[in-house]
Amino acid sequence: MGLFYKNDNGFIESLYDQYGNEIYMICFSYIKNKLDAEDCLQEVFCRAISKMNDLKNHPAPDKWLFVTARLVSFEKLRTINNRREVSINDFETILQSETFEDELFKQQYTDEEIIILRNDILEKLNEKERELYILRYIDKSDVTGISSRLNVSYSNATTRLSRLKAKIIKLAAELFCD
């Protein structure tokens, strides 16, 4: 790793040469617009420059770039659509609903924003949490159906749902809130 990053001037350039196309494709996959995806690519590498000292010691700078590309793309989508920030209060209120993704639609978040949010949250959940998330928020199963499907008691299912809601709020804060 030390030979790859010989000096500060070449560090970001090397990352750009190696990962620039992939970063652009990630941005474009969310934004669906060439110029806006290029803006996102530039923003990702501006952030990399500002975090260069930390990034040089990061165990996986490519992963940092990919995560940053998703976050920058999400921010750009919000700007493009003149949407308000996702806030913890939004999530606490929305998660009280049976199907919080439907509530996000009512809050005027775009389909793309909700898909980004869903995918980023699902990536952070373990297998059991993902299954519960899908049953509750995508398949729109009620607690009785979930307890039957998971072969657990009704109270166990409500406890798991409560923990999942708390985790989603925490993840939303980490991923999307300023």
Are 93 and 14 part of one and the same domain?
no
Q: Would you give the end-to-end CA distance of the chain in angstroms?
A: 33
The amino acid present at 147, given as its one-letter code, is S
Q: Is 149 among the domain residues?
A: yes
Q: Is 13 among the domain residues?
A: yes
Q: Is 132 among the domain residues?
A: yes
For residue 102, pLDDT beyond 50? yes
Q: What is the pLDDT of residues 42-71, one digit of tens each?
A: 999 999 998 888 888 888 899 999 989 998
Q: Is 97 among the domain residues?
A: yes
Whether the Cβ atoms of residue 119 and residue 125 lie closer than 8 Å to each other = no
Are 117 and 160 part of one and the same domain?
yes
Q: pLDDT value at position 111?
A: 65
Q: What is the pTM of this model?
A: 0.45
Q: What is the pLDDT of residues 109-132, one digit of tens each?
A: 666 666 777 777 888 889 999 898
Q: Is 107 among the domain residues?
A: yes
Q: Match 């970063």 to its residue by tokens.
A: 23
Of 23-27, 36-40, 121-125, least confident by mean pLDDT is: 121-125
Q: How many domains does the chain have?
A: 2
Q: Is 3 among the domain residues?
A: no
Q: Give the span between the Cα atoms of 171 and 92, in whole angstroms.
A: 12
Q: Is 1 among the domain residues?
A: no
- Which domain does 168 fall in, by range? 88-176
The enclosing domain of 111 has a CATH number of 1.20.140.160
- Name, in order, each residue with C-beta under 8 angstroms of 100's C-beta and a sequence gap of 6 or more: 91, 94, 137, 168
Are 114 and 135 part of one and the same domain?
yes
Q: Is 2 among the domain residues?
A: no
For residue 140, the SS3 value is: coil
Q: pLDDT value at position 18?
A: 95
Are 103 and 163 part of one and the same domain?
yes
Quick one: pLDDT band at residue 6, thresholds 50, 70, 90? very low
Are 44 and 108 part of one and the same domain?
no
Q: Give the span between the Cα atoms of 14 and 178, in whole angstroms.
A: 30
For residue 81, pLDDT beyond 90? no
For residue 138, pLDDT beyond 80? no
For residue 89, pLDDT beyond 90? no
The enclosing domain of 17 has a CATH number of 1.10.1740
